[in-house]
Structure 1
Amino acid sequence: MKSDLARKVTALLLGISFAMVSVAGFAADYDKKAATMLFKRNECNKCHAKDRDKKGTALRKLAKELKEKEDPMGEIVKNLTTQPMVKLLDTGKEEKHTKIDTEDMGEIENLGKWILSQ
């Protein structure tokens, strides 16, 4: 018969495992090299950095905010393909978000998975 402590430890480990699997699902199956090439080719790094805000939100902060939304990938695709108005963090001015230079949904979703993995 398992002790109460053993049951609690087992439950805790299962909970941690499920949490890790659900977070990993955002980043699963993407091509990092292709995503970073697309990111650089479109000069996304002019506005976005991994760890700090520039003109645009830092990728880590952006990924965290997106993961809290109902459809994170849909939000990314919309921002990369429809040129919504965005507020620049450095000046407070609004301008159209740059449209990505590809219409290939596979490439766009790969970039989205990479962003969510940050």
Structure 2
Amino acid sequence: MKYRESMVIHVRWLPPSGNFVKLNTDGAHKDRVSARCGGVIRDSQGEWLGGFAKGVGSCSAFVVELWGVFERLKYAKSLGFMAIELNIDSSVVVQVIKTDRLKGSVDMTLVRNI
């Protein structure tokens, strides 16, 4: 039996630089039955500028994270924000968005829209 090492990572909110707003998103799912995503937008002073939560149906944790990013960016744009710093907790989603590479998935349309 293998044991995984654990480590503690202290996380805190840091303000965006300059005229940027910060967008924090997250997604959660339970047994591929119920998935939800949400997020908040704050300015450089930490003031709340908007937020949302949305049910996205039945999907994987990866896909619900993508939906959180997509919906939140769409919402930020509708509020007129164009300089956006995005924070999400999925390194896999970050890598896919940065590289625009997702092998053999129907979710590529969602990535391209992001």
Q: Scaled by the length of structure 1, what TM-score is found?
A: 0.26
Q: Scaled by the length of structure 2, what TM-score is found?
A: 0.27
Structure that is richer in strand per residue: 2
Q: Which structure has the higher relative contact order (CA within 8 Å, separation 6+)?
A: 1
Mark the structure with the bigger radius of gyration.
1
Structure that is richer in helix per residue: 1
